[in-house]
Structure 1
Amino acid sequence: MEEENEPRRAKGSGWKSVYDTLRNEILALTLQPGELLDETTLAGRFDMSRSPIREALIRLQGDELVVTLSNRSTIVAPIELTTFPKYVEALDVAQRMNTRLAAKLRTDADLKIIARRQKDFEAAVRANNHLQMSEANKQFHVAIAHAGKNPYLASFYERLLCQGQRMLHLHFEYLERTGEGYLLTDEHDLMLEAVRAGNVELADELAHAHTRQFQENFMAFMRENYTTDVNLWPLKAAE
């Protein structure tokens, strides 16, 4: 019989802690692309039944962070280099459009939130925590998207940002190791000031340059560490 004083996990809450832990480990590349996620092993690790483990994996699949194979096993989603050109093309369009709209439609309340998110990013940089940096970077751009007042474009943009977090983690590692380039902090400040000033064209130009910086550094990392036949055409210059 269960002891009355034994701490109990709230019903239905177990999957959330598993989800949060695995998501952080996937984004930080502690769990490598292609790594097997066995339900039984995870159940033992987290000391719970397989049901919350399965729920957490379903949620991660919805985030496109894990993949279920034909044999029903689950692995950490690969980083698909062959689709990176299309990914960064879509990111560029979404980033430019949302930043343009923010410069046109932002309110004082929006500006305060964007500035707060930039402070969070700077704090993560000072702490040299790449996982916090990628999350804070995402939240900075999501705040800009919300300031653009188009929930459809903002939702699409946020999904792209989530999909790119592992690549951004590699981007940060490359910059830290090589000392080449910079960690986007100055570009964030410039984007915030363009949005604050209502300068739509400058906001567009900076958003485009921001994507191009990420693209160039990520591909430099790939050339240094992997052999790849990815044919990545330069992003079209901002018009």
Structure 2
Amino acid sequence: MKSMNTWTAALVLSASLLALAGASSANAGTKPAPLAGHARAVIDAFLAPQLLGMPGKTSLRVDTPISGSPPECSALEAFLPSGARLWGRLSVGLRCQGEPPWTRYIQAYVSVTGNYYAAARPISAGQALTDADSELREGDLTKLPDSVVLDRTLLKDAIANYSIALGSPLRKELLRTLPLIVRGQNIKLLTRGQGFTVSVDGKAMTDAALGATVQVKIEGGQVLRGVVRSDGVVERPN
């Protein structure tokens, strides 16, 4: 009889554990409800201007906290914690200036759907890239490395530093660019100002790729800095 009771208790315990596990799994798979009401309107008004200029189409998801929607407040303002980046998953602060004052943090997700470049075929280390080696894809840029290539001009005259698998996002650190200017090369150094342009001859002090900053020694030994243009001219910044 005692053995039967022990067996029955074990069955009951097992059933309870399975029920709890099932409930936990169900809860884990349930997405938080979107935040609504005045708090959501305040967050939208705060973030909307900051989302302008993103490199793609943005969307914002704001979740209702597990504890429920924030209390009503007639003087509510939103803010981002110090150092927070408006990209991917983040917390948005809500601060009530009324009575009683309170502060809450709301979980949000900013997605940015845009175009990026990926390897159209396997690329070997040391290989010079051609147009056939890359293809334009669309995806959530917040889920990709920050260094993913968004501008095809960055692939011009690029060489792979490492092997790159088919379909992999092309990242800047995986590539290097052939120098457009080599050390000792005679070049034109252009200086622009309000209403004038001055061009002088000089020699490049180092190799430099398109868009890179290079030192140029001009007549008299003075060394100036400028940015390499696509035509090989070095232009001093204003």
TM-score band by shorter chain is under 0.3
**Bigger share in strand:** 2
Rg comparison, structure with higher value: 2
TM-score, normalization by structure 1: 0.25
**Bigger share in helix:** 1
Greater length-normalized contact order (CA 8 Å, ≥ 6 residues apart): 1
